[in-house]
Amino acid sequence: MTELRSTHLFTLTLDVDPNVTDVGETPYGRRRIATVRGGTFEGEELKGTVLPAPAGDWLLQRRDGILMLDVRLTLKTDDGHLIYMTYKGMRHGPAWVIEQLNTGEKVEPSQYYFRTTPTFETASEKYRFLNRIICVATGRREPAGPVYEVFHIL
């Protein structure tokens, strides 16, 4: 069996507005929408900023306690190229850990599971490699917003 190998693509740090729109209980769970106000990303091959709204996370708190993420962002590289980034993922852990995260406390990332699967879309010739790679990210929740370590699966 072939093992997966990866390389670090970049670290993504997001600034999320604490005023989240609560849609309420839907047939699928509690739906909330969070606005991403901006952020940064930095890696060996690319770095830049996350453009503010329209950018957000369409969160779904499932009835089994798992938080599902559906995020859409526009990245602007330091050399002026635009990259559309989207990812789905999940975060879950023991109830006491999730409660600490929800109240803005800093929690050791090993105490909970937080993974996403980013994909990219760009018209840039320089960064077109992003259009044809698979990525996985590990996340941690900081008081201002999430921080992700994005890995390119080789």
Q: Is residue 88 scored above 90 in pLDDT? A: yes
Q: Is residue 69 scored above 90 in pLDDT? A: yes
Strands of the chain, DSSP E: 6-16, 21-26, 29-42, 47-50, 56-61, 67-77, 82-92, 113-121, 134-142, 145-153
The answer to whether position 104 is within a domain reads yes
pTM for the complete prediction?
0.93
**How confident is the model over 42-68, as a mean pLDDT?**
94
Check: CB of residue 149 under 8 Å from CB of residue 109.
no
- pLDDT-based confidence at residue 102 (cuts at 50, 70, 90): confident
Q: Is residue 120 scored above 90 in pLDDT? A: yes
The answer to whether position 83 is within a domain reads yes
CA atoms of 65 and 105, how far apart (whole Å): 19
* The predicted structure's pLDDT at residue 126: 97
* The predicted structure's pLDDT at residue 53: 77
Give the amino acid at 68.
M
**How confident is the model over 22-26, as a mean pLDDT?**
96
Q: List beta partners, residue 60.
A: 31, 68
The total of structural domains in the chain comes to 1
Structural domain boundaries enclosing 22:
6-153
The answer to whether position 1 is within a domain reads no
CATH number at residue 54: 2.40.160.20
**How confident is the model over 142-148, as a mean pLDDT?**
90
